[in-house]
Amino acid sequence: MDNSTLWTKAIGQAAGASFANWDCAPRKLTVTSDLMGTSRRVAKLSNVNSFSYMPKSIEVSPDQPHRVDITPRRCRIAHLTSAHPRNDTRIFLKQCRTLAEYGHDVTLVVADDQGDERIGGVSIVDVGRKTGRMQRIFRTTRRVFNKAIALDVDIYHLHDPELLPIGLALKRRGKTVIFDSHEDVQRQLLSKPYLGPLSRRVVSHSFGLLERYACARFDGIICATPFIRDSFLKINPRTIDVNNFPMELELTSPEIRRGNLTEVCYVGGIGSIRGIRQLVQAGELLLSPTRINLAGRFSEDTIEKEVKGYRGWQHVNQLGVLDRAGVREVLQRSAAGIVTFHALPNHLDALPTKMFEYMSSGTPVIASNFPLWRDIIEGNQCGICVDPCDPRAIAAAIDHLVMNPTIAKTMGDNGRRAVVEKYNWALQAIKLTDFYEVIENARKNAPVN
């Protein structure tokens, strides 16, 4: 059976599926931590009416914020991705390395044509890359599936929506499967620029059917935000959120910021719906001699060509894609980090990684004025929220932070403190490893067919 047949069969089954009888009882996560992060953090994951699991406490050392101090049962795990790079922050740096350090045997299957290697206790297996979206969806996923079967591990952890049919195929072979929902894909499809208005609705609806059908049958769901978690709890009660919060020390430089900073930065994928037009337009409205550093890749060639024709482009430094050390260096010389996404459905309840990485580095944040983001930014007094479609408001916020370095430093310190207290990977690592214990216990206790 080829991969296009897998997709067709999965969507057909999804269209007739019923989900009315699922128990959607949520789980509780109770976390206690000291305010400054100087003593040990203790978290407890309690399950409510979903599956048999004895809660326990797990301790995390403050000097190793992503290491869990407990000896677990060792199991073999394969993380599968057909779209993400091998050094993806969420998949490799956080999840795979955390699980490997926890004692599991972890393999990451990727499709990037960079060969096999072993890094940080994680074996990386490359199935080769195909160019083009359709080639990736149908041919690359088949290669990922073949490699997954060859590995024959205990738990498969899928990271791309195009791997949902592969997950169903693994389930039919009796495998244990976790799906990791990084985005609200069904809502995200409604704003894809390469789809027309009618196509967006049709594709979004069809994908929603497949997603609900597949995820109801998987052994567990991990979501990147509480909002996505709540939607999946209606499908599969064995669902948890593992937020993409930063590792506390990763983007913090030992060098102390000095003097007036006259640069701001945007880090990540660059596109129209992420506010690049308005950010470049803000450049020509600045009263301060500020440079705007863009660290990332344009997702649309036409948009890149367009904004390079704006007068504000003369205030822009295009840095391209940077490694983590490069990102840290840019953040340390920035008076503010920009995250002015447009008010699209999948943005309103998102928790952008870059926002928390700015905070972790002590960089004040200029963010879109969505209610959720305002609660975080203004609630922690670590930045300024603006209308993302108003270049004048963006320019005014940049000028305010550049021209008032004392205020900017206070905001940066507040953001850093908020990450130490609550928005950090150490607490999310506990949730991840605890959830894996739940899945492994369920796998071992499952009746043999």
Specify the pLDDT at position 200.
78
Measured between alpha carbons, how far is residue 388 from residues 95, 289, 301, 343, 363 in Å?
32, 22, 22, 8, 19
- Confidence class for position 445, pLDDT limits 50, 70, 90: confident
Can you state the angle between helices 3-15 and 164-172, rounded to 10 degrees?
90
List of E strands, 160-300: 176-181, 220-223, 239-241, 263-267, 291-295
Residue 55 within any structural domain of the chain = yes
- Cα three-residue angle 221-111-115, rounded to 5 degrees: 130
- Give 136's DSSP letter: I
Residue 289 lies in a domain: yes
Same domain, 221 and 364: no
Centre a 10 Å sphere on the Cβ of residue 127 and count the other Cβ atoms it contains.
22
Tell me: do 268 and 216 sit in the same domain.
no
How many whole angstroms separate alpha carbon 207 and alpha carbon 193?
Answer: 17
Q: Under a CB-based contact definition with an 8 Å cutoff, are residues 354 and 339 in contact?
A: yes
Let me know whether 349 and 394 are in one domain: yes
The residue type of 40 is: R
155 and 73, same structural domain?
yes
In this prediction, residue 448 has a pLDDT band, given cuts at 50, 70 and 90, of low
Question: Same domain for 379 and 439?
Answer: no
Residue with more model confidence, 128 or 16: 128
Mean per-residue pLDDT, 32-61: 33
- Quote the distance between the C-alpha of residue 198 and its chain's center: 28
User: Measured between alpha carbons, how far is residue 379 from residues 10, 242, 309, 346, 404 in Å?
Assistant: 44, 22, 38, 22, 20
Whether 393 is covered by a domain: the verdict is yes
pLDDT number for residue 74: 85
**Whether 416 contacts 360, CB under 8 Å:** yes
What's the pLDDT score for residue 194?
67
Tell whether 148 and 241 lie within a shared domain.
Answer: yes
Tokens found for residue 327 = 């990102």
Please indicate, yes or no, if residue 100 is contained in any of the structural domains: yes
Please check whether residues 154 and 303 belong to one and the same domain: no
The mean pLDDT of the chain is 83
CA proximity to 183, closest of 297, 373, 344 = 344
User: Do both 321 and 438 map to the same domain?
Assistant: no
Confidence of residue 135 (pLDDT cuts 50, 70, 90): low
126: in domain: yes
pLDDT in tens, 347-378: 998 999 999 999 999 999 999 999 999 999 99
Length of the chain: 449
> Is residue 254 in some structural domain?
no
Give residue 437's pLDDT: 94
- Please name the amino acid found at residue 279: L
Whole-angstrom distance, CA of residue 90 vs CA of residue 27? 22
The CATH number of residue 34's host domain is 3.40.50.2000
Token duo for residue 305: 């060509």
- Shared domain check, 368 and 437: no
The C-alpha atoms of residue 23 and residue 327 are separated, in whole angstroms, by 44
Confidence tier at 130 by pLDDT (50, 70, 90):
low
Q: Has residue 5 been placed in a domain?
A: no
* The two three-digit tokens of residue 287, written as one number: 């009263």
Range of the structural domain that residue 73 is part of = 11-245+424-445
Mode of pairing for the β-strands spanning 155-158 and 76-80: parallel
Residues 277 and 159 in one domain: no
Strand order in the sheet with 57-60: 28-32, 41-46, 57-60
The arithmetic mean of pLDDT across residues 26-47, rounded, is: 33
* Closest by CA position to 391, among listed 279, 264, 267: 279
> Per-residue pLDDT averaged across 236-254, rounded?
86
Residues 126 and 113: their CA atoms lie apart, in Å, by 6
Same domain, 227 and 293: no
The count of structural domains within the chain is 2
Same domain as 130, residue 29: yes
CA distance 150 to 76: 13
Using CA atoms, how far apart are residues 339 and 436, in angstroms rounded to an integer?
A: 32
**Which residue's entry shows tokens 């997709």?**
7
From the list 245, 232, 217, 133, the residue with the least C-alpha distance to 186 is: 232
Euclidean distance between CA atoms 277 and 321, whole angstroms: 19
* 2 within some domain: no
**Alpha carbon 175 to its chain's center:** 25
Helix (H, G, I), strand (E, B) or coil at 242: coil
pTM for the whole thing? Answer: 0.77
Residue 374 carries which side chain, given as an amino acid letter? R
Residues whose CB is less than 8 angstroms from the CB of residue 176 and which lie 6 or more positions away in sequence, other chains included: 154, 155, 156, 219, 439, 442, 443
Q: How far apart are CA 6 and CA 146, in angstroms?
A: 13
Question: What is the residue whose two structure tokens read 């738990």?
Answer: 155
